[in-house]
Amino acid sequence: MLKPSDEKYLRAIYQISQSENTGKSTISELAYYLELKPPTVLERLKILEQEKYITYTKTDGIHLTRSGQKQALNVVRKHRIWETFLHKVCKFSWSEVHELAEQLQTVNSEKLIDRIFMLSGEPKFDPHGDPIPDKSGTLPASERRPLLNSIEGCRCTVLGVNEDSAEFLNYLSELKIGLNEKLVVEKIFAFDGTLKVRFKNAETALLSSKVAEKIMVSCTKPGCLCGK
Amino acid sequence: MLKPSDEKYLRAIYQISQSENTGKSTISELAYYLELKPPTVLERLKILEQEKYITYTKTDGIHLTRSGQKQALNVVRKHRIWETFLHKVCKFSWSEVHELAEQLQTVNSEKLIDRIFMLSGEPKFDPHGDPIPDKSGTLPASERRPLLNSIEGCRCTVLGVNEDSAEFLNYLSELKIGLNEKLVVEKIFAFDGTLKVRFKNAETALLSSKVAEKIMVSCTKPGCLCGK
DNA sequence: ACAAAAAGTTAGGTATACCTAATATATTTA
DNA sequence: TAAATATATTAGGTATACCTAACTTTTTGT
Ligand SMILES: [Mn+2]
Ligand SMILES: [Mn+2]
Ligand SMILES: [Mn+2]
Ligand SMILES: [Mn+2]
Domains of chain A: 4-64 (1.10.10.10), 145-219 (2.30.30.90)
| Mutate: best of B5, B107, B114, partner A, most A CBs <10 A | B107
Query: Which residue among B86, B109, B119 places its CB closest to the CB of A100?
Result: B109
pLDDT digits (tens, 9 = 90+) for A98-128: 999 999 999 999 999 999 999 999 998 888 7
d(CA A105, CA A81): 9
The pLDDT > 90 percentage for chain A reads 57
Using 70 as the pLDDT threshold, list the residues of chain B that sit under it: 21, 142, 221-224, 227-228
Residue B83 near residue B101, CB atoms below 8 Å: yes
Residues ≥6 apart with Cβ < 8 Å to B135: B77
Cβ proximity of B41 and B30 under 8 Å: yes
Query: What's the half-sphere exposure (Cβ side, CA atoms, 13 Å) at A137?
Result: 12
Ligand nearest to the CA of B216: 4
Question: From residue A69, how far is each of A26, A29, A35, A129, A135 by CA, in Å?
Answer: 16, 18, 22, 21, 13
Instruction: Give the torsion sign (CA, B167, B172, B178, B183).
Output: negative
Kindly report the pTM of this predicted structure. 0.77
Element (H, E) at A51: none
Of A124, A205, A126, the residue nearest A161 (C-alpha)? A126
Q: What is the tens place of the pLDDT at every residue in B187-209? A: 999 888 899 999 888 889 999 98
Distances (CA, A) of B8 to A108, A145, B1, B13, B83: 18, 46, 14, 9, 16
What percent of chain A lies above the pLDDT cut of 70?
Answer: 96
Q: From CA B34, how far away is CA B23, in angstroms rounded?
A: 18
Ligand nearest to the CA of B129: 4
Determine whether the interchain pair A107/B100 forms a contact, defined as Cβ–Cβ distance below 8 Å: yes
Q: Are A104 and B100 a contacting pair at CB < 8 A? A: no
Identify whether the C-beta of residue B159 lies closer than 8 Å to the C-beta of residue B93.
Answer: no
Render pLDDT for B160-175 as a digit per residue (tens, 0 to 9). Answer: 888 888 888 899 888 8
Angstrom CA distances, A73 to A10, A68, A87, stand at 9, 9, 21
- Which protein residues have their Cβ less than 7 angstroms from some atom of strand D? A 26-28, 38-39, 42-43, 58, 61; B 3, 5, 35-37, 39-40, 43-44, 47, 58-59
